Amino acid sequence: MNSSRREALKGTAVLGVAIAAGLLKPGSAWAQQGGWNKAAFDTKTLNDAVKALGGASPAESNLIAITSPDIAENGAVVPFTIESKLPKTENVAILVEKNPNILAANFSIPEGTQPWVNTRVKMGQTSNVIALVKADGKFYYASKEVKVTLGGCGG
């Protein structure tokens, strides 16, 4: 794992500069960038995440499908497919309830692109996984419990 050591060192250097420049508080680990909703990625609960994404009170929907293993042997790599059948789906997000920060990924779906995404996320422990969909300006969600036998966020 030489390469990861090198990368970790490099990361330390960059972060050190950022801290020295007063851009970052240690612990709030990264700089804000254009087009990245830091507030949303800092949230811990579904309602806070929805608020940070500019909505309120998401409704449960059976038109959102989450496809994933029921039991994930390795929490570091858990594959998810999220499909929304809601008309005018604009956004699809994946949230893992018991991760340190709930929001894992947020996809913008322009017109012409299917509301269907497949990606892999880390899960620290057995948790509900929530698919949050913004369709026609409103927020909807579906959730599913995924059991993790080996966590993906440990040290």
Partner 1 sequence: MADPMKIRATMAGDKVEVRVLMSHEMETGQRKDAKGAAIPAWFIQNVTATHNGKTVLSAEWGPAVSKNPFLSFRFAGGKPGDKVSITWTDNHGDKRTDEATIS
Interface residues toward partner 1, by CB under 8 A:
4, 7-8, 11-12, 14-15, 29-31, 33, 35-37, 40-41, 76-79, 96, 99-101, 103-110, 112-114, 116-123, 152-155
Query: In terms of CB distance, is 58 or 75 closer to partner 1?
Result: 75
Q: In the complex, what is the shortest distance from the CB of residue 46 to partner 1, in angstroms, rounded to a whole number?
A: 15
Instruction: Give whichever of 8 and 71 is closer to partner 1, judged by the CB atom.
Output: 8
Residue 151 near residue 124, CB atoms below 8 Å:
yes
Minimum CB separation from partner 1 for residue 66, in Å? 15
Return the SS3 of 60.
strand
Radius of gyration of the chain measured on its C-alpha atoms: 17
DSSP β-bridge partners for residue 138: 135
Burial classification of residue 144, based on how many CB atoms lie within 10 Å of its CB (0-12 exposed, 13-18 middle, 19 or more buried): middle
d(CA 1, CA 52): 37
Closest approach, Cβ 36 to partner 1, in A, equals 4
CB of 136 to partner 1, least distance (A): 19
Contacts of 83 by beta carbon, 8 Å cutoff, 6+ apart: 64, 65, 67, 115, 116
Closest CB to partner 1 among residues 12, 149: 12
Closest CB 123 distance from partner 1, rounded Å? 8
Pick 99 or 141: Cβ nearer partner 1? 99
Distance CA 91, CA 115 (A): 8
Our CB check for partner 1 shows the closer of 43 and 141 to be 43
